[in-house]
Amino acid sequence: MVLAAVAFLYFYLSQGRVDVYVSDPPAPNLAIYLTFTSVALHRVGNNSGWVVIFNGSKTIALTHTPQLLVSASAPAGEYNEVFFTVSSATIEIGGVNITARIPSGVFKVHITGGMRLSGGSAEKLLISFPHVAYANGQIIISPSITAQVIS
């Protein structure tokens, strides 16, 4: 029983929770649904490297209201980038769904101001897509995607 308590305490103090949200709508009368297949955080410092927090498939509608993409445990530490892949996109125009091509489905985004995750703490990270366009059958996501810690 004591061993289990020590293991739990170690895990609690060495891990934090991060909730990753996505937001920002496209043009009026247009809905964009992105299917995310992986999310990783880049940890800096002594134990630097990529920490994968999601591998799977989850479709999110881009809206003004932040939508939860993933809630996961990650090692305590400083993080400076988020890396994610988008495998597909669907555009809804006037009730009709159109599959769109994504020029690059791989995104590496700097976390503005970085993110500090302490043992037992929780942080919220918001990925914003301020410039998403649909033209000629393609979704174009500008490189001005941002990621920042929110309260």
Pairing of strands 132-135, 106-117: unpaired
**Helices marked H in 1-151:** 2-14
Whether the per-residue pLDDT at 9 is higher than 90: the answer is no
**Which pLDDT tens digit goes with each residue over 34-45?**
999 999 999 999
> pLDDT band for position 26 (50/70/90)?
low
Nearest to 79 by CA among 107, 40, 43: 43
Whether the per-residue pLDDT at 28 is higher than 90: the answer is no
CATH architecture of 2-150: Sandwich (2.60)
CA distances (Å), origin 26, targets 43, 70, 87: 31, 22, 18
Q: What is the pTM of this model?
A: 0.84
Q: For the chain, what are the domain ranges?
A: 2-150
